Amino acid sequence: MSTSVSTPDSTASGDRGVGALLRRLLVAREMGVLLALALLLAATLTVNPRFLTGQSLRDLLLGASILVVLAAGQAMVIITRNVDLSVGSVLGLSAYATGTLLVVAPGIPLPLVVLFGMLVGAACGLFNGAVVAVARVPSLVVTLGTMYMFRGLDSIWAASSGRLQINAADLPAGFASAGTTAFLGIPILAIGAILVVLAVGDFLRSYRSGRELYAIGSDGVAAGLSGIPVGRRTLTAFVVNGMLAGLGGVMYAARFGTLDATAGTGLELQVVAAVVIGGVAITGGSGSVWGAAIGAVLLTVIGAALPQLGVSAFWQQASIGALILLAIGLDRALALRTARRLRRWDTHAS
């Protein structure tokens, strides 16, 4: 009776094959979103050749910047097989807190303003993450509740302070100009969004704690048995997500200037849509922040391009819904394909 034994070389070869397959699938997802973006831009430029010139291009970059930052943080949470529906409310609370700080202390340095907004967001993320990771309550339930709780806190704060609305004229000129200032033709807010994506992408790819988020999303029980601190890593993902939502609040305040308790309302669904369309599986364990950022840009371009093509607002929303369903269906198809490939490699290795 003969028994086949896998050698170290064959096992290593199988591991390399699995890694190569996963990388190819990931690149395929991101390239698919890029192709959709390119086709949409080409169709729009055919109708309006000035769509990507001058102020139009700057407006697109500014419009995408905040959504890209929020999508980068949400990607970390969804990779762990969780979701944060409170990011819009966290952004609104951070934006109003930033505006209030600038009204009370107009001479405060800009870096401290940014840090303050991020700390407000981090506190909200810490609360979400603690309830999810420690109390083990499903993130969908927790963040649905805190979405309304943070929005309520924002409304109470605005009402009790007597400033139901903070206007651009109330903010220091230096801060207000940051929302439109450009460097080499690229808006400062867009540069900040790019730096955030680079930082989060490097963390997920190059650091063990970042890679462990994928393991948690793939199989949280197995990740815990292998020694990964699941609760701590999940908490970290929520805190970073909240911190980036707070940064988004500062960017929102600089971009729009007019702040009230409704800032960021409905933004959470756009963020989740951008992440899912960008290839981050809603079931966790796969995807990249690069894809999430491309998804955010695609949604921004859809909102700006479809009116140029004469498409009504109803069909704009319908197209986003169709893209979400398509992304989920593609995730499922790729997961089944990957599972079949893995089973074949296991058979060959044994």
Domain residues for the domain of 30 are 17-349
- Domain count for the chain: 1
Q: Output 336 or 76, whichever has higher pLDDT.
A: 76
Residue 81 CA to residue 139 CA, distance in Å, equals: 9
In a domain, 2, yes or no: no
Give the CATH number of the domain where residue 155 resides: 1.10.3470
pLDDT digits (tens, 9 = 90+) for 242-285: 999 999 999 999 988 888 888 888 899 889 989 988 888 888 88
Within-domain flag for 71? yes
Specify which residues 165 forms β-bridges with: 260
> What pairs with residue 260 in β-bridges?
165
Residue 181 to residues 34, 173, 185, Cα–Cα distance (Å): 27, 12, 9
Whole-angstrom Cα distance, residue 41 to residue 236?
37
Residue 8 forms part of a structural domain: no
Q: In the chain, which ranges are continuous DSSP H helix?
A: 8-47, 54-79, 87-104, 110-133, 139-161, 173-178, 188-206, 208-218, 220-225, 230-256, 267-277, 289-308, 313-349
Note the pTM of the prediction, 2 decimals. Answer: 0.85
Asked whether residue 170 is assigned to any structural domain, the reply reads yes
Per-residue pLDDT of 216-250, as tens digits, reads 998 889 999 999 999 999 999 999 999 999 999 99
CB 99 within 8 A of CB 250: no
Assigned domain for 202 exists: yes
Whether the pLDDT of residue 13 is over 60: the answer is: no
- Which residue in 146, 28, 128 sits closest to 80, CA to CA? 128
More confident residue, 194 or 175: 194
- As a whole number of angstroms, the distance between CA 283 and CA 130 comes to 21
d(Cα 253, Cα 248) in Å, to the nearest integer? 9
Q: Kindly state whether residue 7 falls inside one of the protein's structural domains.
A: no
Asked whether residue 12 is domain-assigned, the answer is no
3 inside domain: no
- CA-to-CA separations, 221 to 12, 131, 198, 204, 218, in angstroms, rounded: 25, 18, 30, 20, 9
